[in-house]
Structure 1
Amino acid sequence: MSELRQLIGTRIRAMRNAKGLTQQKLADIAGLDYRYIGALERGERNFSIDTLEKVLIALNVSISELMYLEDLRDSEETTNDRQKAIDEFIAATSNLTKEQIQIIQRINHELFGIF
């Protein structure tokens, strides 16, 4: 099994979960079969770029958001927690306007100024 295919499948599952979607719902939005989504998430399917594009559109994420990788110097637990927080943030902000995102950025800067 391809390590890259496994990584992409794992990230698709994480993004789907962060958005609160079932495999069936993601499949419906993407125009794919739910069994295909399951196989994709497990890294069992050798998918095309067109299929990946359908999934990204259905998740409303970019390829860079999907492929975001953490620094390997962190512990696995820290990396997983950080990745989950990032995925939830991407899911929560995916439908916001530019102005709303700018407000969140200002709040974020203020919060990190406290630390």
Structure 2
Amino acid sequence: MDYRLLGEKIRKERLSRGLTQEVLAEKANVSVSFMGQIERGERKLSLETLIKIGNVLGLSFDYLLQDSRKTKEQPDTSGPVYIIKESGSRFPEPSAGNRPELDELVHAMQERTPQEIKIITEVAKTILKYCKNK
């Protein structure tokens, strides 16, 4: 995760809406100094804080993370992101009979470690929790 790119995107979107750091920080329920550190990529932020910032700016979670997921160690994985229910520790082989978007996700998950799958599952649960609240 490239927090500098994420912070730049947040700053650009904030400025395009004519908001100050103070206003965005207040609406996202974080301190002004923390908001500045986020925008400069100096501090990591929680998923909950990222979602709050996105909601204030009217931006989707995936839009905010787009491009900031790229690092020197990670390949470009841009494209749609789909979420499925946790169905156990093993994923079935993709098949033409399933929905193509789920097949794409299953294929991407097969190359992940059990720890990565657990993290992805927890992130998905958090996202789904916020989707239900809308």
Equivalent in the alignment of 2:32: 34
Q: What 5-or-longer segments of structure 2 have no aligned partner?
A: 68-134
Q: 2:6 — aligned with what?
A: 8
Structure 1 CA distance for aligned equivalents of residues 43 and 27 of structure 2: 19
Q: Which residue of 2 aligns with 1:18?
A: 16
Structure 2 partner of 1:49? 47
Structure 1: gaps spanning 5 or more residues:
70-115
Q: CA deviation at 1:4?
A: 0.9
- Look up the equivalent residue of 1:41 and give its one-letter code: E
- Structure 2 match to 1:63: 61
Query: Structure 2 counterpart of 1:65, which letter?
Result: Y
Structure 1 stretches of at least 4 aligned residues deviating more than 6 Å after TM superposition = none
Alignment size in residue pairs: 67
What whole-Å deviation, never above 9, does each CA across 1:56-108 have from its counterpart, x for those lacking one?
11111112333455xxxxxxxxxxxxxxxxxxxxxxxxxxxxxxxxxxxxxxx
The answer (yes or no) to whether the contact 2:50–2:61 under 8 Å persists in 1 is no
What is the rounded CA distance, in whole Å, between the counterparts of 2:42 and 2:63 in structure 1? 22
Q: Deviations over 1:16-75 (max 9, x none)?
A: 001100000001111111111100000001111111111111111112333455xxxxxx
2:25 partner letter? A
Aligned-pair RMSD on alpha carbons? 1.5
More helix by percentage? 1
**What secondary structure, in the 3-state scheme, does the structure 2 residue paired with 1:11 have?**
helix
**Bigger radius of gyration, 1 or 2?**
2
AA matched with 1:54: K
Q: Which has the higher contact order (CA 8 A, sep 6+)?
A: 1
CA contact (8 A) 1:11 1:67 kept: no
